[in-house]
């Protein structure tokens, strides 16, 4: 199966979008080679702005551009969302300006750069902001759909992308902002995931089937607004509910699902993710195993936690 890093797909999507919409501009914080905005820079140099290592300034520039009818996409590493958080909060989300954030190298699969650069809190930071739409695409095709949708939303949007190449799946013909997708139906447990963890959840599903289980698998490209209806329906159907994310279990997908289920039934509910610790330097495969996020570890956690 073809593999492509979502950050690469993000860069390609910007070039494609730039050809369709002359109002699209791209800003980067001296990381165009890594965030893959370099393609847009080459194609549309007059619409590309390298802001240097000054993320807060980049966000303020984008906010101003948005008031002139432009559609700015800001790009940097996801961990640097913290550097510009005040500007994102008060300069973009508070007035509801039309600025997009395509932040890359999220999660522990960034690898050898270590815990200082592995963003495990970015989804929590962005979800809590009023007016912000939050995307976590799971592959290259979904990334394009999220970028295209972001350009059509009148307001702030966050798109989380990853460094590690991941499988490219068939595109969702029914893609819709705020709606999840049923990849596999099942009856005795449901795994809900987002981003590049989809590959590992698919592996976990095959292991679980080999153990005689009948798991359902849901993937959510949009964490805000969230598909409450789909999550609740499968929780009530399967009773055993597991969320899997390459993010802290505080404030991410698990904490998006939890309030949806609260008071709506009796469930086994387990958040599989980064358990309130920082990342560390290592090969992505080794880190996924260490943090219990590869297929084998996910399946083991599900089997140990299931009721009935």
> In the structure encoding, which two tokens stand for residue 192, read together?
């809900």
Per the listing, tokens 């791209």 go with: 26
Residue 199 a catalytic site member: no
Find the catalytic residue in 12, 33, 55, 297.
55
User: How, if at all, do strands 181-184 and 215-219 pair?
Assistant: antiparallel
Count of other CB atoms within 10 angstroms of residue 276:
9
Count of other CB atoms within 10 angstroms of residue 240:
22
Kindly report whether the peptide bond that precedes residue 225 is cis, defined as omega within 30 degrees of 0.
yes
Per the listing, tokens 């989809």 go with: 198
Provide the β-strand partners of residue 103: 76, 160
Angstrom distance (rounded) from CA 122 to CA 105: 11
Instruction: State the chain's maximal CA–CA distance in angstroms.
Output: 61
The answer to whether 136 and 223 have CB atoms below 8 angstroms apart is yes
% helix, strand, coil for the chain, step of 5? 40, 20, 35
The catalytic site residues sit at 55
């Amino acid at each position: 199966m073809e593999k492509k890093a979502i950050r690469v797909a993000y860069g390609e999507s910007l070039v494609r979008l730039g050809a369709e919409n002359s109002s699209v501009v791209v800003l980067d914080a001296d990381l165009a080679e890594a965030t893959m905005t370099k393609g847009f820079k080459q194609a549309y140099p007059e619409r590309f702005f390298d802001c240097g290592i000054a993320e807060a300034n980049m966000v303020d520039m984008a906010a101003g551009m948005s008031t002139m009818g432009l559609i700015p996409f800001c790009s940097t590493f996801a961990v640097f969302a913290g550097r510009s958080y005040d500007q994102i909060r008060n300069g973009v989300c508070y007035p509801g300006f039309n600025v997009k954030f395509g932040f890359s190298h999220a999660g522990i699969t960034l690898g050898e750069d270590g815990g200082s650069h592995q963003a495990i809190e970015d989804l929590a930071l962005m979800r809590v902001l009023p007016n912000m739409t939050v995307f976590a695409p799971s592959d290259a095709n979904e990334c394009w759909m999220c970028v295209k949708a972001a350009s059509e939303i009148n307001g702030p949007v966050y798109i989380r992308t990853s460094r590690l190449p991941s499988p490219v799946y068939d595109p969702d013909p029914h893609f819709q902002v705020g709606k999840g997708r049923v990849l596999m139906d099942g009856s005795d447990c449901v795994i809900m995931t987002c981003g590049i963890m989809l590959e590992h959840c698919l592996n976990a599903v095959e292991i679980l089937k080999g153990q005689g289980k009948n798991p359902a698998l849901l993937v959510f490209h949009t964490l805000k607004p969230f598909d409450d209806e789909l999550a609740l329906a499968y929780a009530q159907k399967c009773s055993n509910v597991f969320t899997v994310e390459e993010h802290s279990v505080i404030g991410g997908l698990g904490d998006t699902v939890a309030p949806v289920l609260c008071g709506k039934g009796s469930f086994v509910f387990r958040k599989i993710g980064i358990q309130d610790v920082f990342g560390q330097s290592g090969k992505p495969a080794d880190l996924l195993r260490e943090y219990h996020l590869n297929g084998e570890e996910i399946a083991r956690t599900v089997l140990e936690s299931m009721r009935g």
